[in-house]
Amino acid sequence: MLRSGSFWNKCAKLIAMDILTAKRLCAITDNFYSRHADSFSATRQSAWQGWEKCLEVTGVTGQGALESEPHIFSVLDVACGNLRFFSYLSQQVSPQTRFSLYAVDNCDALLMQDGMTARLLPEIHFYKLDIMQELLEGKSIAKLLGIHGCNLVTCFGFMHHIPGQDMRSRFISDLVEMCAPGGYVALSLWQFMKDAKFALKAQDVHKKALPVCNFAEKDLDEGDYLLGWQGLPVEPGNIRYAHSFSDSELMYLIESATPCARLISRFEADGKSSNLNTYLIFKK
């Protein structure tokens, strides 16, 4: 596809972020999760609406489900948090379904919450990795993990913490690399500015958080916000960085992944309005 015109000119402005700014944003988020792992995990116990369709599109459930497959189905969940996706997965298939499960995260406090499914624990291979630090250093997550040939690679609730469009694009390429030919990559991308009530609150907190974190608006990309948590005072430790994805950014990410994977599904789900996340499902 010829990349020209106002669409790609706009995307070009989003690609490069100053590395020092990116590091500072990641440090803010790290500090937040270190401080609020317990309360955050407590709000992340139930399944997201969009997961059901992800499993249907990728053939994990529904007609032609995995119970009839003779091989072990391998699933990699990157930024797994408290393992609730694996908990949901275990409830959607028969106990006889054979899985090889791989989980990657950096926050032990999130991982050790009660949301883990006891039946799956012996089957999960956990890799502790500071994904953001490695991305900031320009390293390949796929090469660091050494995981390849997964039938399904997922990443839910994490992309919005990656600063800079170029880093987000590289990360998706890593996910595709760890996927088997014919396998699937499923992503969620938060679009919290589509929710009018959340948007007003986000703008208010962001304005207050900028001086607290020593940022100027010009330092950040369009769609970047400093968010609060559960009404706590806007102060260091209570602030996290998040990016709300625009439709043009989604198109850029889709296009950047197409040399190695084909988009087979795009849909919105989650939240009261059923549009807080956009899901992208690629087939390698």
Q: What is the pLDDT of residues 61-88, one digit of tens each?
A: 865 555 445 467 899 999 998 888 988 9
pLDDT confidence band for 33 (50 / 70 / 90):
confident
Contact 239, 228 (CB under 8 A): yes
Interval 93-103 mean pLDDT: 82
The values of phi and psi at residue 107, to 5°, are: -105, 100
pLDDT confidence band for 41 (50 / 70 / 90):
low
Contact 101, 83 (CB under 8 A): no
Which of residues 168 and 45 earns the better pLDDT score? Answer: 168
Q: At residue 114, does pLDDT exceed 70? A: no
pLDDT of residue 54: 96
Architecture of the domain delimited by 18-117+133-240+270-283 = 3-Layer(aba) Sandwich (3.40)
Q: At residue 121, does pLDDT exceed 80? A: no
Interval 15-21 mean pLDDT: 77
Looking at residue 162, the DSSP 8-state letter turns out to be S
Q: At residue 110, does pLDDT exceed 80? A: no
pLDDT confidence band for 109 (50 / 70 / 90):
very low
| Burial class of 71 by CB neighbour count within 10 A (0 to 12, 13 to 18, 19+) | exposed
Interval 240-259 mean pLDDT: 94
Interval 234-251 mean pLDDT: 95
Q: At residue 98, does pLDDT exceed 90? A: no
From first CA to last CA, the distance across the chain in angstroms is: 19
Tell me the C-alpha distance between 165 and 131, whole Å. Answer: 16
- Report the b/e string of 23-33 with b at 16+ CB within 10 A: ebbbebbbebb
Q: Position of tokens 């990795």?
A: 129
pTM to 2 decimals?
0.88
pLDDT of residue 90: 84
Report how far apart, in Å, the C-alpha atoms of 60 and of each of 16, 67, 266, 267 are: 37, 9, 17, 18
pLDDT of residue 12: 45
| Nearby residues of 265 by Cβ (< 8 Å), 6 or more positions away | 53, 57, 279, 280, 281
| Nearby residues of 104 by Cβ (< 8 Å), 6 or more positions away | 76, 77, 78, 79, 80, 126, 127, 128, 129, 131, 145
Beta bridge partners of 125: 102
pLDDT confidence band for 111 (50 / 70 / 90):
low
Beta bridge partners of 224: 243
pLDDT of residue 87: 86
Tell me the C-alpha distance between 49 and 166, whole Å. Answer: 29
Tell me the C-alpha distance between 3 and 94, whole Å. Answer: 46
pLDDT confidence band for 123 (50 / 70 / 90):
confident
Interval 156-172 mean pLDDT: 96
| Nearby residues of 41 by Cβ (< 8 Å), 6 or more positions away | 81, 82, 109, 110, 113, 115
| Burial class of 280 by CB neighbour count within 10 A (0 to 12, 13 to 18, 19+) | buried
In 10 A of CB 208, how many CB atoms? 15
Tell me the C-alpha distance between 259 and 10, whole Å. Answer: 21
pLDDT confidence band for 14 (50 / 70 / 90):
very low
Element (H, E) at 233: none
